Structure 1
Amino acid sequence: MELTQLVSEKFIISELRGETKEDVLKEMMNLLAQKGIDAEASLSAIMEREALGSTGVGEQVAIPHAKVSDIEDVAVAVAVKREGIEFSAADGIPVKLLFMLVSPDKQMNRHLKTLARISKLVKLTDFKERILAESLSASDIYAILQQEESRLE
């Protein structure tokens, strides 16, 4: 299962406007709401997950995620915050690249596989470096996602 099957240009924010962690999570959730999910319930689930421990995994990356009952399939959004945002990341460095993942609560396996795929993309390719190197449009980010994800095969 590839991320390019779950993400399109429509679900990429090339520059987040929010100034706080909660603001950017709301902004990303509003985008995912276009997939017909309950944004309020899903954001609540994301915030509950964040309360357990930050999903700022380090190296300028966060993967806020949650499982909810009211969706049919995995939903993913990608966003960039060039100047970084305080996210209580494991390494204390502000987050610049975010992947938001919302999954049906009955699809734990797919949820975990998607988290693993995101992690591999960030760790094993030049995706993050290319995205953060310059200001890009959503279509540019999607093209880089396609190129870098193909390297994982």
Structure 2
Amino acid sequence: MDSLLDALQEGRLIELPDNDKLDALQFLAHIIEAIPSLPPGTDVAGLILAKEQTSQTSLGMGWACPDARVPFDEDLICVVGWSPQGVNYGAPDGIPVSIIAMYLVPENQRNHYLREVSLLAKALTVYPGVKGLRAVKELNEIRDYLLDLITSTKETVGPDSRARMIRLQARPTLESLPAGDLSNLIIEPVTLVGAPGLKPIVLTQNAGLAQRLDATVGLLEKIEAEGVCQTGGWRVSKRGKVAYQHGRFTYDCLAITTSGVGRK
């Protein structure tokens, strides 16, 4: 389960802010959307929510594995959300979901993804501590729990994976790691309104973000040309564009930061 290990190693294990299913899925999807290697405008949240309407992504026993399949080549990407209270996910076994392992599945990673989820499902059947998931109270305990779960399926633990897990177990607690800032990720929806000869209009509930974007020179040009704009600690990514009469248009964007500059 290399992608799950990658998520632990790269700080993509995050405590979910609440136990609402829709909010949890959107939160994790937006984290994937913020990964710089993804093409601008990749609507992970839309893909995830559309699939949830037609598929059951719960594995049971407090786990769910939603996935977004995309038509380009990239690494298989996983982000893991932990809910201390448990998310009312509508799982067939009725158990609230504590772990949501969300995957971005590129075209060239379909088989890799199927193997990983198959191994994960197998691990859940053989791991003796699987029923203790709801008793875990700290994020670092969840990290250790996941490492133990991975080792319970011998096929997943080759020499390289074993070495990576040893390094993970030797790392300091998540609170002292820079990657731990992901648990304080700030995600703001933004609408940018443009028209010929007029200054861009920024629509957002975050006053500090609005002020920052108002002062950003060439904001619309950067969003149009590159699909993303970095400014003042914020990463603004374009999700979509709607054109109107007389050359007017709007950009639907997400603004993401992991630092205190984004707090209202």
Q: Which TM-score tier does this pair reach, normalised by the shorter chain?
A: 0.7 to 0.9
List per-residue Cα deviations over 1:23-57 (Å, max 9, x = no partner).
00111123323433358511111112111122123
Residue 16 of structure 2 aligns with an amino acid whose one-letter code is L
TM-score calculated relative to the size of structure 1:
0.81
Bigger Cα Rg? 2
Unaligned runs of 5+ in 2: 155-264
- Report sequence identity in percent: 23
RMSD: 2.4
Q: 2:88 aligns with which of 60, 72, 86?
A: 86
Q: 2 CA distance for matches of 1:40 and 1:23?
A: 19
- What residue in structure 2 maps to residue 102 of structure 1? 104
Displacement of 1:92 in angstroms is 3.1
Matched, 1:66 2:68: yes
- What residue in structure 1 maps to residue 23 of structure 2? 23
Displacement of 1:21 in angstroms is 1.2
Q: How does 1:1-150 map to 2 (within 5 A)?
A: 1-8=1-8, 10-13=11-14, 15-36=15-36, 37=38, 41-70=43-72, 72-126=74-128, 128-137=130-139, 139-150=140-151
Q: 2 CA distance for matches of 1:48 and 1:31?
A: 18
> 1:129 and 1:34, CA in 2 relative to 1: closer, same or farther beyond 3 A?
farther
TM-score calculated relative to the size of structure 2:
0.50
The structure with the greater share of residues assigned to strand is 2
List per-residue Cα deviations over 1:58-98 (Å, max 9, x = no partner).
22221111211345111111222122222121223322221
Q: 1 CA distance for matches of 2:150 and 2:122?
A: 9
Q: 2 CA distance for matches of 1:25 and 1:129?
A: 23
List per-residue Cα deviations over 1:79-121 (Å, max 9, x = no partner).
2212222212122332222111111023221120121122123
Kindly tell me the number of residue pairs found equivalent between the two proteins.
151
Q: 1 CA distance for matches of 2:80 and 2:16?
A: 10
